[in-house]
């Protein structure tokens, strides 16, 4: 069991690493799906089969597919390739990597002091999770449903094609506002977050 865990952990990390360095959007998404699969395996290993299934169905199955839908609908991948090449120079990775290293160091330190598991591994069946959901966490369920409802309504409203007047209004005011700049800070440089 432990071997499976380590292998899938390695796959997850590797896949994520590759995913974030791809230039083509669809490639990155596909690698991400691989990573999610690996994480699902990890879930299964540590006694959360229900969660593994959920991860696959919802995360990899719905959310990532949604991403793919949007990317393919807007045909982003092809067009963005050259731009991405320009943007992703090696120096770009410097500061975020440093920051992340710090973060990892700290969290590792914390995690190091965390203890070993208390007793034998307990595999949680869906039944147990269901009992917990309908018991103490019932309100969480209700709130989650509320959240999803608002997400639904918001997504519909925000994403719809604006009516003719709205477009004209926003286009006109955008045009006006785009002309007047004059702020001292440069906009849109090709360097990343250079704190230097």
Partner 1 sequence: MHALLWMIPAFPLASAAILAFFGKRISHRAAAFIGTASIGLSALVAIFMAAGFLRSTPDSHAWVQTLWTWMGVGDFRPEIAFYYDPVALIMTLVITFVGFLIHLYSVEYMRGDEGFSRFFAYMNLFVAAMLILVLANNLLVLYVGWEGVGLCSFLLLGVWYKDPANVRAANKAFLVTRIGDTAFAIGLFLLATHLGTLDIQELMRRATAQWPAGSGIAIAAAALLLGGAVGKSAQLPLQTWLPDAMAGPTPTSALIHAATMVTAGVYLIARTNVLFTLAPPVQFAVALIGGATMLMAAFSAIAQHDIKRVLAYSTMSQIGYMFMALGLGAWSAALFHFMTHAFFKALLFLAAGVVIQAMHHEQDMFRMGGLRFELPLAFWSFIIGGSALAGLPLITAGFFSKDLILWQAWAGPNGNGGFWIAGLLGAMLTSFYTYRLILLVFYGPEEREVSHRPGFCVIIPLVTLCALSIVGGYVDTPPDFGGAPIFSDFLGSVLPALKQFHVGPITELSTALCASASFAIGFGFAYILYAPWRPRTRREDPLLRLWHAGWGVDWLYDRLFVMPFQFLVHRTGSDVIDAIYTGIAKLADSAARALRVTQNGRVRWYATGIAAGFVVLFGIAIFVR
Partner 2 sequence: MLYLAVSLFALGLIGLLTRRNLIFTLMCIEVMLNASGLAFVAGSYRWGRPDGQIMFLFILAMAAAEVSVGLALFLQFHRRAPELDSDSASRMRG
Per CB under 8 A, does 6 bind partner 1? no
- Please, what is the angle between helix 25-45 and helix 2-20, to 10°? 160
Structure tokens at 121: 């591994």
Which of 91, 76, 95, 100 lies closest to 23, judged by CA?
Answer: 76
- Of the candidates 110, 158, 178, 196, which one interacts with partner 1 according to CB under 8 A? 110
Strand ranges in the chain using DSSP code E only, listed in sequence order:
none
- Of the candidates 103, 131, 147, 149, which one interacts with partner 1 according to CB under 8 A? 103
Minimum CB separation of residue 195 from partner 1 in Å reads 7
Q: Which residues contact 85 (CB under 8 A, 6 or more apart)?
A: 23
Minimum CB separation of residue 20 from partner 1 in Å reads 13
Per CB under 8 A, does 193 bind partner 1? yes
d(CA 35, CA 54): 15
Per CB under 8 A, does 83 bind partner 2? yes
Instruction: Please identify, among the stretches 11-19, 63-71, 159-167, 178-186, the one whose residues bind partner 1 according to the rule CB under 8 A.
Output: 178-186
Instruction: Please identify, among the stretches 20-28, 35-43, 143-151, 185-193, the one whose residues bind partner 1 according to the rule CB under 8 A.
Output: 185-193
d(CA 82, CA 99): 27
Per CB under 8 A, does 165 bind partner 2? no
Per CB under 8 A, does 108 bind partner 2? yes
Exposed/middle/buried for residue 161 (C-beta within 10 Å: 0-12, 13-18, 19+): exposed
Return residues touching partner 1 (CB under 8 A). Answer: 95-96, 99-100, 102-103, 106-107, 109-110, 184-187, 192-193, 195
């Amino acid at each position: 069991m432990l071997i499976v865990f380590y292998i899938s952990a390695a796959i997850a990390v590797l896949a994520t690493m590759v995913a974030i360095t791809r230039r083509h959007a669809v490639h990155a998404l596909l690698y991400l799906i691989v990573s999610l699969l690996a994480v699902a395996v990890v879930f299964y290993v540590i006694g959360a089969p229900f969660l593994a299934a959920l991860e696959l169905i919802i995360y990899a199955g719905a959310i990532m597919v949604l991403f793919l839908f949007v990317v393919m609908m807007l045909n982003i991948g092809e067009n963005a390739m050259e731009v991405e090449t320009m943007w992703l120079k090696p120096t770009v990775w410097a500061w975020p990597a440093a920051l992340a290293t710090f973060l990892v160091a700290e969290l590792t330190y914390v995690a190091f002091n965390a203890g070993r598991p208390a007793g034998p591994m307990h595999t949680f069946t869906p039944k147990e999770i269901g009992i917990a959901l309908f018991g103490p966490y019932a309100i969480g369920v209700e709130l989650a449903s509320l959240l999803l409802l608002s997400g639904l309504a918001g997504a519909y409203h925000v994403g719809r094609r604006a009516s003719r007047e709205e477009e004209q209004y926003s286009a006109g005011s955008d045009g006006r506002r785009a002309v007047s700049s004059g702020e001292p800070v440069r906009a849109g440089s090709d360097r990343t977050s250079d704190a230097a």
